[in-house]
Amino acid sequence: MPHILPKAKVIAVAGQYAMAAEPLRAGRATACIVGDTEAFALARRNSEWAVVLDPQNLIDKRPNSWMIRYGDTSWKNFLDSWCSYISGSGELKRIYDRYAESTL
């Protein structure tokens, strides 16, 4: 992120994305990094002070991660395979677009 906002002050805030954006709203932070869906929803609800920095070139589009029991490689392999399939088939984008349309 330094190349995008070289003078940005970075702080960590725990909690929901609305709480994470509070320093931004209050002017104590330059930017807030949240997931893409949350960023669009936050900007839409708070257009007087929030905007998505570069909506066409998001920092990261990877899905959320999960935890599995240590050593359960067959379950990990299944999840990896399923994610590859759902992403490659276009189904993930279709589901995401439907979700984003209904919530944003």
In this prediction, residue 74 carries a pLDDT of: 94
Give the whole-angstrom CA distance, residue 44 versus residue 87: 27
Digit-by-digit pLDDT tens for the chain (104 residues) are: 446 667 776 677 777 777 878 888 898 887 788 877 788 888 888 889 888 888 888 777 666 677 888 999 999 999 989 988 998 999 988 988 887 777 65
In this prediction, residue 101 carries a pLDDT of: 76
Give the whole-angstrom CA distance, residue 40 versus residue 86: 23
User: What's this model's pTM, rounded to 2 decimal places?
Assistant: 0.57
Asked if residues 53 and 4 have their Cβ atoms less than 8 Å apart, the reply is yes
Q: Which of 11, 20, 56 is nearest to 36 (CA)?
A: 56
Give per-residue burial for 56-92: e unless 16+ CB within 10 Å, then b. Answer: eeeeeeeeeeeeeeeeeeeeeeeeeeeeeeeeeeeee
